[in-house]
Amino acid sequence: LDTFSAPAHGISSGVSVSARRRRGRRTVKSIVCAAIIAAAGVACGWKAYTDLTTTVRLLGPQSVADSNLSDSAWQCVFRSIRAEVPEGAPVYINVGRSELFLQRLTEVTTPWAMPVPRMSAARLLLSVSLAPGHGYCSGLEFAVTHR
65-116 tens-digit pLDDT:
666 677 788 889 999 999 999 999 999 998 876 778 888 899 999 999 999 9
Q: Quote the pLDDT of residue 22.
A: 82
- Among 130, 133, 110, 14, which residue's Cα sits nearest to residue 61? 130
Q: Quote the pLDDT of residue 73.
A: 86
Question: Considering only 21-25, 40-44, 47-51, which range has the smallest mean pLDDT?
Answer: 21-25
Q: Quote the pLDDT of residue 121.
A: 94
Q: Quote the pLDDT of residue 135.
A: 61
Secondary structure class of 126 (helix, strand, coil): strand
Whole-prediction pTM: 0.53
Secondary structure class of 144 (helix, strand, coil): strand
Q: Quote the pLDDT of residue 50.
A: 93
Q: Quote the pLDDT of residue 83.
A: 93
Q: Quote the pLDDT of residue 23.
A: 83
Summarised one tens digit per residue, pLDDT across range 15-36 is: 677 777 888 888 999 999 999 9
Dihedral, CA of residue 59, residue 64, residue 66 and residue 70, to nearest 10: 140
- Among 96, 90, 99, which residue's Cα sits nearest to residue 127? 96
Q: Where are the beta strands (DSSP E) in 8-111?
A: 90-93
Residue 90 main-chain phi, psi, to 5 deg:
-75, 125
CB 133 within 8 A of CB 113: no
